[in-house]
């Protein structure tokens, strides 16, 4: 007797067909084991079974019968889970079109960082993930803020489980350092993503997919880590059924991280708790609810980086461990998410899903900025100081409903998605007045130890109250015109509003009936290779302001892309080559000036721009022992006048990471390593001594890494990662008005115990 146990709820008819066939095949093999008569098809009494196995039943009555022990076959039909698969690829993804499509069916460049990659590279937060992701550039603004870009433009579109989520860098509430312990994988769609993200960037959309309570047996993972600078952590991930049948399942993830960094006196830390429950309330309906809370500790963190110039007009060069912050400075933050999902199958073809989330984030930084400073190389005096203390809170609500399904027309089966979404974000900031008499200069900066008195803060006034709303409806269909040819057509209609005030400037922006059409074509050359092309439009409201304090108009543009996608017969190895062109109007560019009366907010101006380039990616199983993720990107971004734009981003990058299973040589040992290379990047900075604008640049950066993991036994695993192996010193970009260096060589050890 066979019992078929469903490991998850979402069914895929093709997978169930495979399961039935495989079950019959196992039955035939089991019959062989107990002496059933299996012969070739030479008599009329033979019956053919699946997979070419033939059974002679003519004399079955004469054969002794045997009752087999019960065999349990577990079918995990949720092909969008990468955990415990040991894979660098994923069968299907939904971030590009909302429909569950394979890589070859998706007419756009899509990368997936699987759970195995997260573990092999020891990527514990979002910034570390994107540093190693193909086609993504990461630059540090200061100790707490980063900038992400792709194809020459900043990334501002983020999602969690497909729901748009605002990550506000001005407030720096730790979103870019979100802990990956609660995520299964990360999907990255490059190019314009207006179809699924509404007002979106032409760069990329980053979608973080949470872990779910999908285990029908108790399972626990404990891990401990420590690095060479004293940063350490502990985490636990526990899943188990909450009812005897397994229809209700629970999962809890907890993580504690704390310690020093390569920067003197800086201390960082994270506390994360994540809990979720999945319940099969009927044969066709699953409900998921959950919550997470992450506290980010950031003590003695620099705001704006180190001084860029000396008083003789020369460019400064500091030790990577130099810290320009004070002992009392902090940039702590908290973020809480609540979410609920309902997934209902009407039948094998049609599904309705509703997702909702509510988020509250807050921070209360106390900072000191040594901005646009020139340092006297003899006496070490810095006069340009700016203190900052504020209370910031952001609340956001997101809801999305999608109806997806298959329909038959003209003798073929096609896919359809239709849905709507609503999101609202409220951002409130209260700023404390600095001392009216100013601050004393910082003396002897060369031996600076952070000893500087905290200012006596003045009254608290509201400096910003911004509400952003967006309502959307969207629809798309995949039409199978012929066996090799598919067309995806879709559109999104959005209504966008932004109101309130920021630093004394009122805003009241409204954009109605924003159409974001999408068209894509895929053509299967054969079973392993496909050509594709797509067209989409760009609409992106901007938060940058000009020298007069007015917000820049929204970016509008077009995105074109063609490419070739390939995969091995089993899908374990995938590759894609993409050629793209992006046209944008009114792209914000830094003017190098500050907005009068707005503190340290920089002024911007808009330019028309284009970006065109090529991306190459190979990911997955190169052999039985070798897995790799390889990505190469080159683009040219310039304004209509031919001048380069966004020069703080490297325009050519190479990311390579591979692991090799050494089991045949050294049992239970896996080794690996990689290279993250980028060409030079620069900014135009005003020299405070000469008053002239000049280039401040970083040459090519090559960051090598190695790793090794060893399975001590079936439960215990030890891993070591070495990052920046050759200890290259480099400016982490993209802010050259204050210098931030990348991390020197670091060694991280981790122990993991599973039971």
CA distance 337 to 208: 14
Residues 157, 163: Cα–Cα separation, whole Å: 10
pLDDT at 526 over 90: yes
Does residue 448 contact residue 324 with C-beta atoms inside 8 Å? Answer: yes
- The per-residue pLDDT for range 420-447, each reduced to its tens digit, is 999 999 999 999 998 887 788 887 788 8
- Farthest CA pair distance, the chain: 106
pLDDT at residue 172, as a whole number: 67
Where is average pLDDT lowest: 19-33, 363-377, 735-749?
19-33
Q: Is residue 32 over pLDDT 70?
A: no
Q: Domain locations in the chain?
A: 1-77, 158-503+514-754
The answer on pLDDT for 416 being more than 90 is yes
Between vectors from CA 41 to CA 36 and to CA 43, what angle results, nearest 5°?
90
What span, in angstroms and rounded, lies between the C-alpha atoms of 736 and 649?
12
pLDDT of residue 341: 97
Per-residue pLDDT averaged across 483-495, rounded? 94
Contact 694, 687 (CB under 8 A): yes
pLDDT at 103: 93
pLDDT for 69 beyond 60: no
Main-chain phi, psi angles of 77, to 5 degrees? -95, 5
- Segment 514-527 shows an average pLDDT of 93
d(CA 530, CA 206): 24
User: 158-503+514-754 adopts what CATH topology?
Assistant: Maltoporin; Chain A (2.40.170)
The average pLDDT across 512-526 equals 92
Measured distance CA(168)–CA(175) in Å, rounded: 8
Q: Residue 48 pLDDT more than 50?
A: no
Percent of the chain with pLDDT over 70: 86
Give the mean pLDDT of 236-257.
Answer: 97
Return all residues near 630 (Cβ < 8 A) that are at least 6 apart. 134, 616, 617, 618, 619, 655, 656, 657, 658
For residue 599, the model assigns a pLDDT of 66
Contacts of residue 440, defined as CB under 8 A and 6 or more positions apart, other chains included, come to none
Helix (H) or strand (E) run with residue 241 in it: strand 232-241
Please check whether residue 139 is in contact with residue 131, taking contact to mean a CB–CB distance below 8 angstroms.
no
State the Cα–Cα distance between residues 228 and 516, nearest whole angstrom: 49
**Contact between 239 and 212 (Cβ < 8 Å):** no
Residue 52: per-residue pLDDT: 36
3-state secondary structure 93-154: ECCCCCCCECCCCCCCCEEEECHHHHHHCCCCEHHHHHHCCCCCEEEECCCCCEEEEECCEE
The sign of the dihedral angle between the CA atoms of 687, 545, 734, 203 is negative
* Residue for token pair 């892309």: 561
pLDDT surpasses 50 at 355: yes
CB 295 within 8 A of CB 362: no
Cα distances from 183 to residues 50, 222, 625, 659, in angstroms, run: 39, 16, 26, 22
Query: What does 604-647 look like in DSSP terms, one character per residue?
Result: EEEEEEEEEEEEEEEEEESSSSEEEEEEEEEEEEEETTS-B--T
Look up tokens 């990468």; give the residue. 82
How many Å separate Cα 525 from the centre of its chain?
A: 31
Joined together, the tokens standing for residue 608 give: 């028309």
pLDDT tens digit string along 570-606? Answer: 999 999 999 999 998 888 887 767 788 776 677 888 8
Contact assessment for residue 715 and residue 222, using Cβ atoms and an 8 Å cutoff: no
Q: How confident is the model at residue 371 (pLDDT cuts 50, 70, 90)?
A: low
pLDDT band at 260 (very low <50, low <70, confident <90, very high): very high
Q: Give the mean model confidence (pLDDT) for residues 327-343.
A: 96
- Number of helices (H), then strands (E), belonging to the chain: the values are 4, 39
Residue 625: the pLDDT is 97
Query: Which tokens in the block code for residue 129?
Result: 């993930």
Q: Are 362 and 392 in contact (CB under 8 A)?
A: yes
Six token digits for residue 220 = 């626990």
Q: What are phi and psi for residue 445, nearest 5 degrees?
A: -65, -25
How far apart, in whole angstroms, are the C-alpha atoms of residue 640 and residue 585? Answer: 10
Torsion sign, CA atoms 446, 450, 453, 454: positive
- Rank 135-144, 382-391, 462-471, 496-505 by mean pLDDT and report only the highest: 462-471
Confidence of residue 171 (pLDDT cuts 50, 70, 90): low
Backbone angles phi, psi at 51, to 5 degrees: 60, 25
Whether 652 shows a pLDDT value over 60: the answer reads yes
Bridge-partner residues for 652, per DSSP? Answer: 634
Q: 79 falls in which pLDDT band (50, 70, 90)?
A: low
pLDDT range class, residue 377, cuts 50, 70, 90 = low
Average pLDDT of span 203-215: 94
* Mean predicted confidence (pLDDT) in 597-621: 88
Asked whether the beta carbons of 567 and 575 are under 8 A apart, the reply is: yes
Instruction: Locate 598 and state its tokens.
Output: 């707005």
Evaluate if residue 311 carries a pLDDT over 90. Answer: no
- Between 486 and 197, the more confident residue is 486
- Give 700-755 pLDDT, tens digit per residue: 999 999 999 999 999 999 999 999 999 999 999 777 888 999 999 999 999 999 99
DSSP state of 731: B
Other CB atoms within 10 Å distance of the CB of residue 440 = 10
Beta bridge partners of 263: none
Say whether pLDDT at 542 is over 90: no
Q: Per the omega criterion (within 30 degrees of 0), is the bond before 629 cis?
A: no
Confidence (pLDDT) at 145: 85
Backbone angles phi, psi at 118, to 5 degrees: -55, -40
* pLDDT for position 273: 98
Res 632 pLDDT > 90:
yes
Q: For the residues 342-371, what does the mean pLDDT come to? A: 94
Taking CA atoms, 451 is separated from 285, 327, 443, in Å, by 60, 6, 10
Helix/strand/coil (H/E/C) assignment for every residue in 33-76: HCCCCCCCCCCCCEEECHHHCEEECCCHHHCCCCCCCCEEEEEC
pLDDT of residue 181: 97
Partner residues linked to 716 by β-bridges: 753
Mean pLDDT value of segment 616-626: 97
**pLDDT top residue among 418 and 42:** 418
Q: What is the mean pLDDT of the chain?
A: 86
Residue 169 pLDDT? 62
503, 599 Cβ separation under 8 angstroms: yes
User: What is d(CA 124, CA 275) in angstroms, rounded to the nearest whole number?
Assistant: 18
Output the pTM of the full model: 0.87
In the prediction, which pLDDT does 201 show? Answer: 72
- Give, rounded to a whole angstrom, the gap between the first and last alpha carbons of the chain: 29
pLDDT tens digits for range 654-666: 999 999 999 999 9
Look at residue 439 in the predicted model and tell me its pLDDT. Answer: 82
Cα Rg of the chain, angstroms: 28
pLDDT band at 142 (very low <50, low <70, confident <90, very high): confident
How does DSSP classify residue 31?
H
Q: Above pLDDT 90, what percent of the chain?
A: 64
The tokens of 568 are what? 């091995």
Average pLDDT estimate for 596-623: 89
pLDDT band at residue 33 using 50, 70 and 90 as cut-offs:
very low
């Amino acid at each position: 007797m066979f019992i078929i146990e469903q490991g998850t709820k979402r069914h895929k008819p093709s997978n169930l067909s495979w399961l039935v066939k495989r079950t019959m095949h196992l039955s035939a093999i089991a019959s062989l084991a107990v002496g059933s008569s299996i012969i070739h098809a030479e008599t009329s009494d033979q019956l053919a079974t699946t997979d070419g196995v033939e059974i002679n039943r003519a004399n079955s009555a004469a054969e002794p019968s045997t009752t087999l022990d019960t065999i349990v076959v577990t079918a995990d039909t949720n092909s969008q889970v990468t955990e415990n698969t040991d894979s660098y690829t994923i069968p299907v993804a939904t971030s590009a079109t909302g429909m569950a499509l394979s890589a070859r069916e998706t007419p756009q460049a899509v990368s997936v960082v699987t759970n195995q990659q997260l573990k092999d590279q020891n990527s514990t937060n979002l910034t570390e993930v994107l540093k190693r992701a193909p086609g993504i550039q990461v630059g540090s603004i200061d100790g707490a803020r980063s900038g992400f870009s792709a194809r020459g433009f900043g990334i501002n579109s983020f999602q969690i489980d497909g729901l748009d989520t605002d990550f506000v860098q001005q407030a720096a509430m730790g979103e870019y350092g979100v802990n990956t312990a609660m995520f299964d994988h990360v999907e990255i769609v490059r190019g314009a993503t207006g179809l699924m993200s509404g007002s979106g960037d032409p760069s990329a959309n980053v979608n973080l997919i949470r872990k779910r309570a999908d285990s029908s047996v108790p399972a626990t993972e404990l891990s401990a880590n420590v690095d060479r600078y004293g940063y350490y952590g502990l985490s636990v991930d526990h899943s188990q059924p909450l009812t005897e049948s397994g229809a209700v399942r629970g999962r809890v993830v907890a993580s504690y991280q704390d310690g020093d960094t390569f920067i003197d006196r800086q201390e960082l830390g994270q506390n994360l708790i994540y809990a979720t429950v999945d319940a099969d309330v009927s044969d066709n309906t699953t409900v998921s609810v959950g919550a997470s809370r992450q506290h980010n500790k950031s003590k003695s963190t620099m705001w704006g980086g180190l001084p860029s110039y000396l008083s003789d007009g020369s460019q400064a060069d500091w030790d990577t461990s130099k810290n320009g912050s004070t002992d009392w400075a902090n940039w702590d933050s908290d973020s809480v998410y609540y979410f609920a999902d309902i997934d209902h199958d009407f039948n094998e073809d049609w599904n309705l899903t509703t997702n909702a989330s509510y988020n509250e984030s807050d921070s209360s930084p106390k900072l000191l900025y040594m901005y646009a400073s020139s340092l006297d190389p003899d006496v070490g005096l810095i006069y340009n100081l700016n203190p900052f203390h504020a209370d910031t809170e952001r609340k956001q609500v997101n809801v999305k409903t999608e109806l997806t399904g298959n329909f038959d027309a003209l003798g073929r089966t096609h896919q359809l998605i239709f849905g709507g979404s609503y999101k609202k974000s409220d951002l409130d900031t209260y700023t404390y007045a600095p001392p009216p008499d100013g601050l004393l200069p910082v003396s002897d900066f060369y031996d600076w130890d952070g000893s500087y008195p905290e200012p006596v803060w003045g009254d608290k006034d509201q400096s910003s109250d911004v509400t952003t709303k967006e309502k959307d409806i969207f629809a798309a269909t995949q039409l199978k015109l012929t066996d090799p040819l598919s067309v995806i057509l879709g559109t999104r209609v959005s209504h966008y509003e932004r109101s309130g005030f920021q630093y004394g400037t009122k805003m009241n922006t409204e954009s109605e009936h924003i159409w974001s059409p999408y068209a894509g074509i895929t053509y299967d050359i054969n079973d392993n290779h496909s050509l594709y092309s797509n067209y989409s439009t760009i609409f992106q409201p901007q938060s940058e302001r000009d020298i007069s304090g007015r917000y820049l108009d929204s970016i509008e543009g077009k995105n074109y892309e063609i490419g070739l996608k390939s995969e091995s017969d089993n899908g374990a190895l995938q590759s894609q080559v993409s050629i793209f062109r992006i046209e944008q109007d009114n792209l914000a560019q830094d003017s190098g000036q500050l907005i009068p009366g707005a503190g340290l907010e920089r002024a911007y101006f808009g330019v028309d721009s284009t970006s065109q380039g090529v991306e190459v990616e190979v990911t997955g199983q190169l052999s039985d022992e070798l897995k790799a993720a390889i990505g190469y990107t080159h683009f040219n971004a310039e304004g209509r006048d031919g001048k380069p734009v966004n020069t703080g981003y490297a325009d050519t990058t190479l990311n390579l990471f591979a692991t090799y299973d050494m089991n045949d040589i050294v049992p239970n040992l896996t080794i690996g390593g990689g290279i993250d290379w980028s060409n030079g990047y620069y900014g135009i900075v005003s020299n405070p001594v000469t008053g002239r604008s000049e280039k401040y640049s970083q040459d090519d950066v090559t960051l090598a890494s190695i790793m090794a993991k060893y399975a001590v036994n079936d439960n215990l695993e030890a891993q070591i990662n070495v990052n920046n192996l050759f200890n290259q010193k480099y400016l982490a970009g993209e802010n050259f008005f204050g210098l931030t260096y990348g991390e020197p060589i670091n060694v991280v050890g981790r122990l993991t115990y599973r039971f």
